[in-house]
Amino acid sequence: MAEPSTWVPHVESFVDASRTSSQHDSSLEAIATLVKKDIISLLEVVREMEMYLTTTDNVIRSRGTLLLGEILARISHKTLDRTAIDSLSDFFISRLADWVALRGTLIGCHAILCRKKEVGSISKSDVQRFSKVFFEEVDVRSLAANDRKLCYELLICVCTVHKEVATIQGEDLVYDILRSIDDEMDPTCLMLAFQLLQSAISLFPVLSDVAYQDAFDILSKYFPVYFTHGDASNDATREELSDILLNIFCSSPKFEPHIIPFLLEKLCTAFSLAKLDSLKYLRKCISCYGPDRMADHAEDLWRSLETVIFNKEEDRITKEALECFETAVSVLITPNRDTFFGLICQKIDPLLNRIAPEKQAELHALGSIFAIISRVSDNLCTRVFRKYFARLVNSLVESIKGSLNSEALYLVSEILSSCRGLIQRSPDSTEVISDKVSWLNILRNYSGDLSAALLKLVNAITSLKEESLVVKQENVLCAVKCLEVLATFPEGCPPITDETYDSILKSLALIISEMDRSTLLWKSTLEGLIQIGSVAENSIDRRRSLVYTALVVENLLSAFVNSTLPLDLSLEALYGIGMVGKHQMEQVLQVVEEIIVVKILKVCLEGEFVQADTLISLLQFYSGRIISWLSDAGDVSEVAMQFALHIWNQMENKNILKNIHVMGILDALMMTMKHLVSVSTINHQSVIVQKSHEIILKSVSCPTEWFATAFQNPELLMSSPSSSVEDLNLISLFASVITAVSAQTPLPPSNLNSSSNFVSNLFLFFFPRGHVPAAQALASTINKNPTDNKAIESCLSILSEDKTENKQFFKKDIITGFAWIGKGLVMRGDDRSKEIIQFLLKLVISSQHGLDAALSAADGFHIIMGDSDGCLNKKFHAVIKPLYKQRLYSTLVPVLLKSMKEANSKEVVCRAFGHVISDAPLTAVIGEAHKILLAVADSIITLSMDIQNKDVVYSLLLVLSGILMDSTGKESIIENLHIVIGVLTRLVSYPHLMLVRETAIQCITSMSTLPHSKIYPVKPQVLKAVTRALDDKRRAVRQEAVRCRQAWSRGKD
């Protein structure tokens, strides 16, 4: 046991009201720890504190009680003996009357009431005594919010932990609680008050009716829960409060006579929140109270819902009302209760007779009602069919001859889609299928007439002859939807005959192939056909699938071949139809392949260059969409290989080779070839490589022996005659094959020396002649085959030798080629990439081989750091070491920063720097924001002089805005505020690129949120620059400027 002198000062410090709150806290913790560790006993503390607990000085007594309460709260896991517990409960219960020291008493009571049995808990008689004294002595409503909160927590504890004691008190407890929470306004306390009431009510299976009435009177005042000051700063959100209030009402069906009329009344107010909440409450209450209790309210409920549904309201209210209606329909209409259905019919019947075309809102409401009733159950759906469907169909069929009854059409379409939903949910419901008067059989009886009428309507839009029937697009849209529904019923229960099915497909396919504009109708018809196709594809019966292929797929393919449709629509339709299944897509693929070959022949042999654009679109469609869909769907390798070989076969024709590069066809063809190779298996890839290798050997005009030796002998390389166009085209195509093969695919060996690689030699020959695809292919080979040292060494040998006198090597294409090779090495983390990087850096910094060479070298960094679609990416099987960009970034940046000052041409260095910064991952850049920010600003200024740097300026600006968005980046911005603002205000009038101006202004706008003390000195400068932008040529910039000006001038003035 510790000496009192060691811990009593803590007590004194806590009781002394003049100390700071942190001192209070630390002394409290100190005592609690001592008690917890059994160094002092609780009894001892109480004994020492006697004076503080009994003094007549209100302040000291309240601090003393608080200390005891707080200590007790902190030792809830420490076992206390019965006498201690009893005397403590005695003490605190007696202190409930002492309102000055109430806070401590409440904390103490809470601590005692919550104690677990194992560590010594309060006796039952004391709990009973507590609740009696509590309600006698404590007037909860007069307390401060914090104390009220404590009281509610206390009472919740009584109602949940000491249920048996609480139950003894009976209804009085509920009344006492109701009295305490009446008029509570604080959201946090209210949340607890609601919880308290909920647990109190749940204690009793049933209370007297008056008690429910009284509880309702108090609770209803809070409906709808609404904060006058917004709910941003509250612990309890509006939704939470609203939900718990709803739960209380749902907890007992005895609330029903009070709450339902109340909610219906609130539904009629103009306050949208009240409407919304009433609907939500009604929905929950209806399903909680059940059909028996709700039966009396059916009429009132329908009247109120009807008003909301049929009047134009906010979207969310209408949506909630319809959901409520659905619940009401499913709960209130039972086989022996018909009132609700009767009420609905009363409303619908007169409306159906005179629905005016201009009352669209009414029609939509009616449509939603029909849709909901028919989707709730088979039984209800059958009733709708019996009562209304025949009537609607008849009036629709009648009206087809004269002026169309579009309202009936709309309603039929709503009913149809609902009942399809029903049958899809339970496709083998025998009751519906076998019962003669079920909705399905009614539908079967009418489907003949109905589909004939609908088909007539749909055909009218595609045939020009029938001018008698003037049709509106939206009606046809509706008809198409109906036909789609009829054709997509599950296969066991088709409502239409096979002949009708065939005519539906024919008519819809006709819309697709005849309408040559992309309208809503065209698009939704395509959607419909895709739906029908997927259902047919998934059914066991193959008949429908076969019919679909014959009538839709082949029809569209022939439309495509005869090009009756614009190309983009045709391709969209083909892709959509192809997505129905693998078989269909393969059919599409085959036709597209044929057309591609035909077009290649037409363009290259017959010189129809106008077809070039079509060919390019076809190639893009083929490789970008069909092949990628098929490769996602499964094995595509065989197909891809066949087509690749087919293309190579065409290349044997010299005349095709001569013209294939015109108008960008070769680029598209190369990309297609890359895709084809990349999706093939290794075996198929090697077949393609072999085939292309043979053709190269056969067709290349310069002697193949050169390839092996030329590179070691640059003089020979330079003196050899330049290659023919055919050779270059062929090499490009071969390069695309090699770029996309995977690392495991064997490459053909050289004829002369089996140890050296034919492929590397070939590309090593063409790359120094400025052939970029060759360089890319070489880079891919080097990237994927680390063992092929010979190729790397040959490349690097040019760099190591002194070639300064030979100007040939500093052409743009060769430097670019080196950059690609460097990229291949860097990506797999090869150290030899250093030599190429150094070569490029030297060119950039010294500019000794002319500005063009230096600029090409600077752009080389973009190649190395950036991502490329065409080669060296994951898709084309490149080897990529993680974080290679970060590594390169951190080696390059210091060098470039240093050389920025001493370089011959600062612009070139800035350009290289710009590429490195903007291609590096943003997180890496932000991490070093403080180091590079000034250089970024400097580069932007330097680069903004020349129009050809506009892209780099834009990407640097994006980096700057990235830094601005980051919290650590912001600090660097604030440190260099004047410089950054200086740069941005200059870019506001950047003449070469609108995006730069717009982004600069956006950056400035977001800077207005920086601390006011920092930004106020630059405010005049900013406002001046932005005011100039109000007069910008482009609208987007002007609007951005208005926003920016507003943000800056509305800052704290």
Partner 1 sequence: MFILDRLEEIVNHQNIPLHPASVPFIVHGVEREREKQKEKEMTLGLINANPVVHERRERLSRADDPPHHPYPHPHPHPDDVLDALDVFDSVRDIRDPEHPYSLEQLSVLSEESITVDEKLGRIQITFTPTVQHCSMATVIGLCLRVKLMQSFPPHFKVDIKVSPGSLANEEAVNKQLNDKERVTAALENPNLRQLVDECLYSSELYSY
Q: Which is nearer to partner 1, 223 or 289 (CB)?
A: 223
> Who's near 955: CB < 8 A, 6+ residues apart?
914, 915, 918
Query: Applying CB under 8 A, what is the total number of residues that bind partner 1?
Result: 36
Which span sits near partner 1 by CB under 8 A: 123-131, 523-531, 668-676, 1025-1033?
1025-1033
Nearest to 213 by CA among 172, 244, 255: 255
Binding-site member from 205, 230, 721, 882 for partner 1 (CB under 8 A): 230
Which span sits near partner 1 by CB under 8 A: 224-232, 448-456, 879-887, 954-962?
224-232
Two tokens, residue 268: 């009629």
φ, ψ (nearest 5 deg) of residue 749: -80, 165
Query: CA angle, corner 1049, sides to 1045 and 1052, nearest 5?
Result: 145
The residue to which tokens 């036709």 are assigned:
591
Nearest distance from C-beta of residue 220 to partner 1, angstroms: 9
CA distances from 169 to 137, 194, 215, 964 (A): 17, 20, 17, 64
Which residues ranging from 127 to 146 are in contact with partner 1 (CB under 8 A)? 145
The b-or-e profile of 599-637 (16+ CB within 10 A means b, else e) is bbebbbeeeeeebbebbbebbebbbebbbebbbeeeebb
Residue type, 527: E
Which span sits near partner 1 by CB under 8 A: 51-59, 128-136, 165-173, 1043-1051?
1043-1051
Handedness of CA 819, 825, 828, 829 (dihedral sign): negative
User: Is residue 225 a contact point for partner 1 (CB under 8 A)?
Assistant: yes
User: Is residue 1034 a contact point for partner 1 (CB under 8 A)?
Assistant: yes
**C-beta of residue 333 within 8 angstroms of C-beta of residue 340:** yes
Nearest to 124 by CA among 86, 175, 150: 86
Alpha carbons 712 and 761: distance in angstroms, whole number: 10
Alpha carbons 560 and 577: distance in angstroms, whole number: 13
Which residues ranging from 52 to 91 are in contact with partner 1 (CB under 8 A)? none
Nearest distance from C-beta of residue 225 to partner 1, angstroms: 7
Binding-site member from 13, 41, 234, 846 for partner 1 (CB under 8 A): 234
User: Is residue 1036 a contact point for partner 1 (CB under 8 A)?
Assistant: yes
DSSP for residue 118: G
Q: Which is nearer to partner 1, 119 or 1036 (CB)?
A: 1036
Binding-site member from 21, 233, 967, 1013 for partner 1 (CB under 8 A): 233
Binding-site member from 227, 262, 609, 884 for partner 1 (CB under 8 A): 227
Nearest distance from C-beta of residue 1031 to partner 1, angstroms: 4
Q: Which is nearer to partner 1, 307 or 890 (CB)?
A: 307
Nearest distance from C-beta of residue 1009 to partner 1, angstroms: 17
Binding-site member from 976, 1038, 1047, 1051 for partner 1 (CB under 8 A): 1038
Nearest distance from C-beta of residue 271 to partner 1, angstroms: 5
CA 984 distance to own-chain centroid: 32
Binding-site member from 104, 108, 224, 578 for partner 1 (CB under 8 A): 224
The residue to which tokens 């897509």 are assigned:
585
User: Is residue 1049 a contact point for partner 1 (CB under 8 A)?
Assistant: yes
Nearest distance from C-beta of residue 183 to partner 1, angstroms: 10
Q: Which is nearer to partner 1, 753 or 1027 (CB)?
A: 1027
Nearest to 690 by CA among 751, 650, 645, 735: 645
Binding-site member from 221, 583, 1014, 1024 for partner 1 (CB under 8 A): 221
Binding-site member from 21, 22, 228, 562 for partner 1 (CB under 8 A): 228
Q: Which is nearer to partner 1, 91 or 226 (CB)?
A: 226
Alpha carbons 393 and 415: distance in angstroms, whole number: 11
User: Is residue 316 a contact point for partner 1 (CB under 8 A)?
Assistant: no
Which span sits near partner 1 by CB under 8 A: 450-458, 568-576, 966-974, 1023-1031?
1023-1031
User: Is residue 229 a contact point for partner 1 (CB under 8 A)?
Assistant: yes
The b-or-e profile of 40-65 (16+ CB within 10 A means b, else e) is bebebbbeebeebbeeeeeebbbbbb
**C-beta of residue 108 within 8 angstroms of C-beta of residue 68:** yes
**C-beta of residue 266 within 8 angstroms of C-beta of residue 221:** no
User: Is residue 1050 a contact point for partner 1 (CB under 8 A)?
Assistant: yes
**C-beta of residue 55 within 8 angstroms of C-beta of residue 64:** yes
> Who's near 461: CB < 8 A, 6+ residues apart?
471, 473, 476, 511, 515, 521
Which span sits near partner 1 by CB under 8 A: 179-187, 203-211, 515-523, 740-748?
179-187
φ, ψ (nearest 5 deg) of residue 905: -120, 105
Which residues ranging from 659 to 698 are in contact with partner 1 (CB under 8 A)? none
Binding-site member from 86, 98, 182, 186 for partner 1 (CB under 8 A): 186
Nearest to 879 by CA among 746, 785, 956, 775: 785
Q: Which is nearer to partner 1, 279 or 559 (CB)?
A: 279
Which residues ranging from 239 to 298 are in contact with partner 1 (CB under 8 A)? 269, 271, 273-274
User: Is residue 468 a contact point for partner 1 (CB under 8 A)?
Assistant: no
Which span sits near partner 1 by CB under 8 A: 622-630, 788-796, 1014-1022, 1040-1048?
1040-1048
Q: Which is nearer to partner 1, 117 or 1050 (CB)?
A: 1050
Which span sits near partner 1 by CB under 8 A: 24-32, 85-93, 219-227, 585-593?
219-227
User: Is residue 222 a contact point for partner 1 (CB under 8 A)?
Assistant: yes
User: Is residue 706 a contact point for partner 1 (CB under 8 A)?
Assistant: no
Alpha carbons 607 and 444: distance in angstroms, whole number: 58
Alpha carbons 814 and 555: distance in angstroms, whole number: 51
Two tokens, residue 785: 């085959």
User: Is residue 1030 a contact point for partner 1 (CB under 8 A)?
Assistant: yes
Which residues ranging from 870 to 889 are in contact with partner 1 (CB under 8 A)? none
Alpha-helical runs (H) found in 549-651: 554-561, 567-578, 582-606, 612-621, 627-633, 637-650
Nearest distance from C-beta of residue 141 to partner 1, angstroms: 14
Nearest distance from C-beta of residue 180 to partner 1, angstroms: 17
Nearest distance from C-beta of residue 188 to partner 1, angstroms: 10
**C-beta of residue 353 within 8 angstroms of C-beta of residue 395:** no
User: Is residue 996 a contact point for partner 1 (CB under 8 A)?
Assistant: no
Nearest distance from C-beta of residue 1042 to partner 1, angstroms: 5
Two tokens, residue 483: 């036909």
Q: Which is nearer to partner 1, 194 or 839 (CB)?
A: 194
Give the bridge partners for 708, in sequence order: none
Nearest distance from C-beta of residue 997 to partner 1, angstroms: 12
The residue to which tokens 């949208």 are assigned:
272
User: Is residue 1035 a contact point for partner 1 (CB under 8 A)?
Assistant: yes
Alpha carbons 678 and 784: distance in angstroms, whole number: 14
Q: Which is nearer to partner 1, 143 or 792 (CB)?
A: 143
User: Is residue 1045 a contact point for partner 1 (CB under 8 A)?
Assistant: yes
Alpha carbons 840 and 861: distance in angstroms, whole number: 8
**C-beta of residue 222 within 8 angstroms of C-beta of residue 187:** no
Alpha carbons 800 and 673: distance in angstroms, whole number: 35
Q: Which is nearer to partner 1, 258 or 481 (CB)?
A: 258
CA 625 distance to own-chain centroid: 23
Q: Which is nearer to partner 1, 841 or 1037 (CB)?
A: 1037
Residue 1034's region, left for phi above 0, alpha for psi from -120 to 50, else beta, is beta
Binding-site member from 190, 845, 879, 926 for partner 1 (CB under 8 A): 190
> Which residues are at the interface with partner 1 (CB under 8 A)?
145, 185-187, 190, 221-222, 224-231, 233-234, 269, 271, 273-274, 314, 1027-1028, 1030-1031, 1033-1036, 1038, 1042, 1045-1046, 1049-1050
